[in-house]
Structure 1
Amino acid sequence: MATVILVRHGRTTANAEGILAGRTAGVRLDDVGRSQAARTAQRLAVVPLVAIVSSPLVRCRQTAEIIAEHHALRPELESALTECDYGQWQGRPLKELAQESLWSVVQTQPSAAVFPGGESLSAMQARSVAAIRRHDAALEGEHGAGAVWVAVTHGDIVKSVLADALGMHLDLFQRLSAGPGSVSIVRYGSARPDVVATNTDSGDLSWLRAAGPAGDAPVGGGAGPGSAPHS
């Protein structure tokens, strides 16, 4: 299948203040977040993207629009990529939430975590993974197996999609990181996904211009992107 570049939005005012923003309206990128989004846009400028799909929340739309400035694309909004519904946790300081009994469940057994008045982390993963795979299949059908597209979303969404691609149980997804403005890359193949990169904030992505569809894993690790296989 095609290649999806998972981008977490840049830093927000809530991130800087240690607040769990959730779906709070009007949470925007701060100056650092705009710089992070611009850095990511520069990295992606050399990649021939076929689509940019974004969570509808402002911070993701801002990030997607900065990326789109380098491409003749208009970001498409996807509600299934929106932030987790943290319910009564939304808008509260993280240091305060860390005192709640549910905090340890979120950290050690996220598959059992249900936010009061909100959704479960399992439901969040199911909807976001389904959306990523649906868009990926549709874009491959339209543009071919070499298609590369961007999904701009949230930290826990990125982590849950990566956990699924890695074959990890959701209870292990807190071992993954997705920093503000970070890039992670998944190439879906017919047999299994290929997780190419996680949580990167620098590095050349021009090799994606010529990346073919995911195939068998190279025994021994291979020669890296852009290298011809040994005959």
Structure 2
Amino acid sequence: MTVVLLRHGRSTSNTARTLAGRSPGVELDDHGLEQARGLVARFAGGEPSAIVRSPLLRCAQTVAPLAEALELEPIVEDRLVEVDYGSWTGRALSELVNEPLWQTVQQHASGAVFPGGEGLADVQARAVAAVRELDARFAAEHGRDVLWVACTHGDVVKSVLADALGIHLDGFQRIVVEPASVSVVRYTPTRPYVLRTNDVGGVVAGLAPREQPAAAVPGGEV
């Protein structure tokens, strides 16, 4: 199975340089809406069989044009929601860099727990579990390898990529995931393969698995 990890388009919080977290009503700005519309062309020739998204508005807006074009109903997955940043939610990044916890987030992410919120290790655990479970579910439903989309948030995508790359969560800040970027992971019975990261303009055509049962490929690896 191949999953396209899609970060939502640029939001009003991104441009304001604040930490949106789970704040209600944070939506895409005009550029973010343009990025969302552009996904239709980027996925031409590599149409996904399913679209899964975080429950937050900015992810719903990001996948809406693609879902309409493909006549797919997005699946809402709560475990792909943004990090609960607790009391950091809504604050300016220029303020947060002065917090002692900021350096822990940057250098020792696995030990970072946001005040009144959740820890980044817990974020990785829930997100990776969700992606792997959904991957297995779609494989069983289709009886073959398919391409699917998971639209979520920057730190969530980075945590899933860290797991797929086999690196410790403490190194996840080395991974760059920009708004509306796609990162692609191919899961097999033995290991994940990271096919693409932080692609902000490329097309997804050619990434869809060949039309054959997974069992036809020794080990499921291609």
TM interval, short-chain normalised: over 0.9
- What is residue 8 of structure 2 aligned with on the other side? 9
- What is residue 143 of structure 2 aligned with on the other side? 144
- CA distance in 2: counterparts of 1:58 and 1:215, whole angstroms: 41
Moved over 6 A (4+): none
TM-score (norm 2): 0.93
TM-score (norm 1): 0.90
Give me the identity figure in percent.
52
- What is residue 19 of structure 1 aligned with on the other side? 18
Instruction: Kindly provide the CA deviation profile for residues 75-113 of structure 1, in whole angstroms up to 9, marking residues without a partner as x.
Output: 010000000000000000001000000000000000000
Q: Once the 2 structures are TM-superposed, how far is the Cα of residue 35 of structure 1 from its aligned partner?
A: 1.2
Any residues of structure 2 matched to 1:10-159 within 5 Å, and which?
10-159=9-158
2:59–2:152 CA contact under 8 A, matched in 1: yes
Q: Once the 2 structures are TM-superposed, how far is the Cα of residue 145 of structure 1 from its aligned partner?
A: 3.4
Any residues of structure 2 matched to 1:176-215 within 5 Å, and which?
176-211=175-210
Q: Once the 2 structures are TM-superposed, how far is the Cα of residue 168 of structure 1 from its aligned partner?
A: 0.7
- What is residue 163 of structure 1 aligned with on the other side? 162
Which runs of 5 or more residues in structure 2 are unaligned?
none
Instruction: Kindly provide the CA deviation profile for residues 108-149 of structure 1, in whole angstroms up to 9, marking residues without a partner as x.
Output: 000000000000000001000000000000001111332110
SS of 1:152's equivalent?
Answer: strand
- CA distance in 2: counterparts of 1:121 and 1:208, whole angstroms: 30
Amino acid in structure 1 at the alignment position of 2:113: V
Amino acid in structure 2 at the alignment position of 1:137: A
Amino acid in structure 2 at the alignment position of 1:75: P
2:13–2:19 CA contact under 8 A, matched in 1: yes
- CA distance in 2: counterparts of 1:32 and 1:115, whole angstroms: 30
Instruction: Kindly provide the CA deviation profile for residues 183-211 of structure 1, in whole angstroms up to 9, marking residues without a partner as x.
Output: 11001001000100000012232212444
Instruction: Kindly provide the CA deviation profile for residues 29-84 of structure 1, in whole angstroms up to 9, marking residues without a partner as x.
Output: 00011111222232113223111000000000111112212202010100000000
- CA distance in 2: counterparts of 1:188 and 1:209, whole angstroms: 13
Amino acid in structure 2 at the alignment position of 1:47: G
1:189–1:215 CA contact under 8 A, matched in 2: no
Tell me the matched-pair count: 218
SS of 2:69's equivalent?
Answer: coil
SS of 2:198's equivalent?
Answer: strand
Which runs of 5 or more residues in structure 1 are unaligned?
219-224, 226-231
- CA distance in 1: counterparts of 2:128 and 2:190, whole angstroms: 17
Q: 1:215 to 1:72 in 2, by over 3 A?
A: farther
Let me know the Cα RMSD of the aligned residues: 1.8
1:50–1:143 CA contact under 8 A, matched in 2: no
2:45–2:206 CA contact under 8 A, matched in 1: no
